[in-house]
Amino acid sequence: MSLRRYFRRRHWDAERVQEFEAHIQNEIDDNLARGMSREVARRQAYLKFGNPARVREEIWKMNSIAPLENLLRDGRYAWRTLLRNPGYALVAVLTLGLGIGANTAIFTVINGVLLRPLPYAESRQILHLDQVAARLSPDPIGFSVQEIRDYREQNHVFSDLAEYHSMTFTLLGTKNPERVATGVVSANYFDVLGVKPVLGRLITPADESLNAPPVLVLTYAYWMKEFGGDRKIVGRAFEMNDRVHTVVGVLPPLPEYPEANDVYMPTTSCPSRSSEKMIADRDMRMMTGFARLKPGVTAAQARADLAAIQNRLAIAYPKSYPASAGTAALVTPVEQELTHAARPTFLTLLGAAGLVLLLACANLANLALSRQMRRSREMAIRMATGASQWNVFRQLLTESMMVALAGGVLGVGIAAAGSKVLIAYAARMTPLSGEIRLDGWVLLFGFGISLLAGLLFGTLPGYVASRVRITSLADAGERSAGSEGGTKVRNALVAAQVMFSFVLLMCAGLMLRSLYNLLSVDPGFKASNVLSMQTSLNWTKYKKDEDKRNFFHQVLERAGALPGAEAAAVSMSVPLNSDMGPMSGGVIVEGQPVHPGEPTPQVDYEVASPDYFRVLGVPVLSGRSFFDSDTAQAPAVAVVNERMAKHYWPTQSAVGHRISVDKGKTWTTVVGVVSNVRQYGLEKEAADSIYFPLYQVDLTSAHLLVRTRSDPMRMANQVTSIIHDVDPQQPVTQIRTLDELRSAQLGTPKVTAILLGLFAMVALFITIVGVSGTLALSVARRSKEIGIRIALGATKEKILGNVLARGMAPVLAGLAVGVVAAIFATRLLANLLFAVGPDDPLTFAGIVALLLVVAMAGCVIPARRAVSVDPMKALRTE
């Protein structure tokens, strides 16, 4: 209503003018009729009507909205003021744009990963269940078929419990034989997650019955990648594990969770899951569970319930749950599992970005304050002519807000430009990276922090300006360029900037040291010039050990003979491949006491072909590596790593001793010791490890490694075609170089360190500009005083010392507070650091020195100007 009036008022005003004219004409007519002269009639009519302009004004005001009017007027005025000082406006908008951009960009990730609800129905209710043998290994061991059934039937806390495991199968029927990551799930799996298909249907209980025809559900990503989103896919048949599987539906786009599966099948279609042995054996564990909590039940209650079931099972099946294993069910909310890796990193980055913005605000407040002091005459005049304190305050705040909003627009632009890089970065830490995009919430956030920033840096100068005394009009221009009180405020702002940037520099410094430590870790092998590829065998095809051995033997022989290849090897896992955890088990050493009732010592198992250590450049410390002759017919042999050798045979050579990995049923002779390798991550120390020869074990999950003379990727095609020569249906996946794997490991800490470093550099730069600028202003203000001192005989050194002391005082104060703040702030960083403590004294000292030196450099320029003050000139300006 009032807005309508507001916009109609111009039209109404025009009408009034006509109306008044008619009114006055009528009155004149009446007066003429009364016998007045034309002149008098006119005069009387106007007298009687009163001032038409005043009446129009009154009606105009009735239709206006005062705050809006004021805002527009302030806005116009602010715009003109800023245009008159484009340098300030540019610096301010750029600084804020960077600060807001950094915050908005990081928030985009946080919004997508941590704030947006998961694409599952009521995702808070979904739990991931696993089992752990806590006394043996921290890694979960999974559930067996029987355990899943027991937990499903006996629990009181879940509305439903589904099982899940993932395997890789060969899919025939597409252009090439494909290795597809397959989620093997019970029929209720998608109900537990609360997911609906985009096409066709999902798995039903009928699909999971014993003789049901096998079905497949495709993930959205695989459907798009492999079939271009062809809607006729439903009903198509593919061959898998020697059976025909029919596609029945397509899933919506979902995070790559629990794993990056391509297709899903019911448990009955999985040959290993549906084998009689698997179903009957309580100790064959390979599944995890997903459960939906009944309404009102908490995760803690679920934990208690599962623990009670576990206790019952332990009593009923003591062999499967020895006390020495410490078996327990693990319960993790899915939400937590999806976000825990990204949460600390991005919250840290948001904190850092927030500090940069605070710092930018402090700097702008400082800048605006000095500008304000130059404009104090203007403010005094405005107040003398009737502006209220509030009017002046509001005017200046509008100016800040305008700058802040312009900075916000720039910042959102920066965030949009950087989002692609950030998504790639976040993808290393969370399967939810696909959810990251610029949406309404991000825009709202950008707008919100722009307003906040405007308030932060606009309030102080606005307040100072609104307190200008009219008497300052009488003062000389020089004096009014900043009162003593203003200087104090400015120094406090400088100290705050130093404090913020110290905290940021500390965080960045620690991250860089941590990164340096990671980079200088010796993984125990030479990563350069090694090509790796996954060649997991289709186990329905390679049933006999001999077939496998033939395949590997032929591939190794031909690959090793390639002109560009130095050596080739087959192993179970690729070093630094973070997709896989260690395969570990117990070991008994001959001649060393076994403590019954205590858990068997655990070691990592590895499988290696003869040239494995040569390909990786792992030195053989004593004994020998494997030979081609180490076959199933030859005596069982093994190689142990240095750590294990020192652990079990501290005083003698390990070579020649015997170990057993099957509780003493068979014995294996140690024939060699190799140096330690960080197989599962640069930050993970090598565990005790045993290497078994390829031809003495049953291996289907295999990798081929080739050491090349030049760029390994150039040989990828040659090696692939060799494999296809041996078996045209053999899929080859994950073709990578070890260098790539190593940089992938370093990628996350690298980007975190770079981002933090970038933030810290921006902070340092802004701070130094602030330190230097504040001191320069103070020197300008005191040039007369300095002139007098020089005239009275003060030496240059004295003046220099005096000015530097003044400049460095707020820096030192800020530093002192910053050190204390950093001690607390860096603790939050502890989890992200590798081999460096959050209170690393060296880093503290280094950053203190850095800040001091740079701040000193910033002070030197204004200090030199102080020294070069010409006393004659300075005094003459009086």
Partner 1 sequence: MARGKQVDKSGEMLQGTLDMLVLRTLVTGDAHGHTIAKVIERTSEDVLEVEQGSLYPALHRLEDRGWVSSYWGASENNRKAKFYRLTAAGRKQLVAETSRWRQMARAIGLVMGEDMLSGQ
Q: Which is nearer to partner 1, 4 or 84 (CB)?
A: 4
Is 48 a residue that touches partner 1 (CB under 8 A)? yes
From CA 188, how far away is CA 191, in angstroms rounded? 5
Region of 734 please: left (phi>0), alpha (psi -120 to 50) or beta.
left
Stretches 18-26, 126-134, 294-302, 718-726: which one binds partner 1 (CB under 8 A)?
A: 18-26
Please state, in angstroms and rounded to a whole number, the distance separating the CA atoms of residues 432 and 744. Answer: 18
Interaction mask 430-469, partner 1, x per CB under 8 A: ----------------------------------------
Smallest gap from residue 40 Cβ to partner 1 (A): 17
**CB atoms closer than 10 angstroms to residue 86:** 9
Which of 55, 68, 474, 791 is in the footprint of partner 1 by CB under 8 A? 55
Coil, strand or helix: which one is 742?
helix
Q: Which of 42, 43, 44, 59 binds partner 1 (CB under 8 A)?
A: 59
Angle ∠(204,207,209) on CA atoms, nearest 5: 115
Considering only 23, 343, 377, 624, the residue that binds partner 1 (CB under 8 A) is: 23
Q: Per CB under 8 A, which region of 49-57, 527-535, 604-612, 724-732 contacts partner 1?
A: 49-57
Site string for partner 1, 105-144 (x = CB under 8 A): ----------------------------------------
Q: Is the peptide bond before 650 cis (omega within 30 degrees of 0)?
A: no
Contact region with partner 1 (CB under 8 A), list: 54-62, 406-414, 734-742, 851-859? 54-62
Task: For partner 1, give the closer residue by CB, 60 or 539.
Answer: 60
Maximum Cα interatomic distance, the chain, rounded to a whole number of Å: 142
Residue 26 or 336: the one with the smaller Cβ distance to partner 1 is 26
Least gap, CB of 50 to partner 1 (angstroms)? 4
Rounded Cα distance, 189 and 291, in Å: 9
Nearer to partner 1 among residue 15 and residue 122 (C-beta): 15
241 vs 42: CA distance, rounded Å: 108
Instruction: Indicate whether 50 belongs to the interface with partner 1 (CB under 8 A).
Output: yes
How far is the C-alpha of 103 from the C-alpha of 494, rounded, in Å?
22
Interaction between residue 27 and partner 1 (CB under 8 A): yes
The smaller minimum CB distance to partner 1, of residues 15 and 785, is found at 15
Could you tell me which stretch among 52-60, 92-100, 401-409, 778-786 binds partner 1 (CB under 8 A)? 52-60
> Looking only at residues 398 through 427 of this chain, which bind partner 1 when binding is defined by CB under 8 A?
none
Transcribe 364-417 into DSSP letters. Answer: HHHHHHHHHHHTHHHHHHHHHTT--HHHHHHHHHHHHHHHHHHHHHHHHHHHHH
Q: Which residues of 237-251 are buried (b: 16+ CB within 10 A; e: fewer)?
A: ebebbeeebebbbbb
Give 13 or 281: the residue with its C-beta nearer to partner 1.
13
Evaluated on CA atoms 587, 588, 593, 597, the torsion sign reads positive
- Measured from the CB atom, the residue of 1 and 83 that comes closer to partner 1 is 1
Asked if 26 is part of the footprint of partner 1 (rule: CB under 8 A), the reply reads yes
Cα dihedral across residues 747, 748, 749, 754: positive or negative: positive
Q: Which of 29, 122, 579, 711 contacts partner 1 by CB under 8 A?
A: 29
Shortest approach of partner 1 to residue 7 CB, angstroms?
A: 14
| Nearer residue to partner 1 within complex by CB, 22 or 583 | 22
For the residues of 551-574, what is the DSSP string, one character each? HHHHHHHHHHTSTTEEEEEEESS-
Q: Three-class SS of residue 293?
A: strand
**Number of residues lying near partner 1 (CB under 8 A):** 24
**Distance of alpha carbon 281 from alpha carbon 267, whole angstroms:** 16
Q: Which is nearer to partner 1, 26 or 298 (CB)?
A: 26
Site for partner 1 in 247-266 (CB under 8 A): none
CB 741 within 8 A of CB 337: no
Chain positions contacting partner 1, by CB under 8 A: 5, 12, 15-16, 18-20, 22-23, 25-27, 29-30, 48-52, 54-55, 58-59, 62
